Chain A
Amino acid sequence: LAKTTQPISMDSYEGQEVNITCSHNNIATNDYITWYQQFPSQGPRFIIQGYKTKVTNEVASLFIPADRKSSTLSLPRVSLSDTAVYYCLVGVFSGGYQKVTFGTGTKLQVIP
């Protein structure tokens, strides 16, 4: 399993763009990169997933360089409700077999 490294915590002011970078040096060819968000005492919620280059959805963007050894989750114009823990996952998703590991995550604190 590819090991991921993320900053333990980050602070940001409301309205700012937040970028959280995840390192995954030993990512395998078949691995996808997925980000989840977790609020206290709730289950994680899927944010975005990608394999290479850039992926964008209604809540975030995911930037993956050509070597795929890192990825950056970008949250545009954060609000107080974005205060949460963000997990970067790297793993295999195929044919019903899914083996991924959640790291310790990045605790994002949005400041008014």
Chain B
Amino acid sequence: DSGVTQTPKHLITATGQRVTLRCSPRSGDLSVYWYQQSLDQGLQFLIQYYNGEERAKGNILERFSAQQFPDLHSELNLSSLELGDSALYFCASSVAGGTASYNEQFFGPGTRLTVL
């Protein structure tokens, strides 16, 4: 157990709909990262938040947005869903620090999104 929690575990929805995925980081971790992993694909980095602020952006579609709240939990919002958005969505967290050894990312169990 990494200490990172994600809800829901599974989500089935239809095209055109909007969903929200939730992530609670490990206690004390200030950074939250979102990744998308499609079937048999590697992990695609979407976005990173640090202490409530956006820090880095990857291949995140304009239909997707995220935020990190004052209690440090994060939500990933996916709208106008398409079949191709079906994937595993992982959240990870890390401790902010000046040395690399403190920036290990701890991954949650993921949310499996199925768009029908």
Please give the residue numbers on chain A whose beta carbons come within 8 Å of chain B beta carbons, in ascending order.
32, 34, 36, 38, 41-46, 49, 51, 87, 93-105
Q: Are B100 and A41 in contact (CB under 8 A)?
A: no
Partner of A98 from B41, B56, B90 at Cβ < 8 Å: B56
Tell me the bound Cα distance from A41 to B87 in angstroms: 11
Partner of A104 from B41, B90, B94, B100 at Cβ < 8 Å: B41
Q: Are A96 and B55 in contact (CB under 8 A)?
A: yes
Q: Are B42 and A98 in contact (CB under 8 A)?
A: no
Q: Are B100 and A45 in contact (CB under 8 A)?
A: no
Partner of A96 from B35, B45, B50, B88 at Cβ < 8 Å: B50
Known: A34-B104, A96-B55. 7 other contacts (CB 8 A): A43-B90, A46-B104, A46-B106, A96-B31, A97-B50, A101-B45, A105-B42
Please give the residue numbers on chain B whose beta carbons come within 8 Å of chain A beta carbons, in ascending order.
2, 4, 30-31, 33, 35, 41-45, 48, 50-51, 55-56, 58, 88, 90, 92, 94, 96-101, 103-110, 112
Q: Select from chain B the residue with minimum beta-carbon distance to A33.
A: B100
Q: Are A93 and B43 in contact (CB under 8 A)?
A: no
Which residues of B are found within 8 Å of A101, using beta-carbon distances?
Answer: 45, 58
Q: Select from chain B the residue with minimum beta-carbon distance to A43.
A: B107
Which residues of A are found within 8 Å of B2, using beta-carbon distances?
Answer: 43, 45
Known A49-B100, A99-B48; contact A42-B110, beta-carbon cutoff 8 A: yes
Which residues of A are found within 8 Å of B112, using beta-carbon distances?
Answer: 41
Q: Select from chain B the residue with minimum beta-carbon distance to A50.
A: B100
Partner of A41 from B43, B97, B104, B110 at Cβ < 8 Å: B110
Which residues of B are found within 8 Å of A104, using beta-carbon distances?
Answer: 41-42
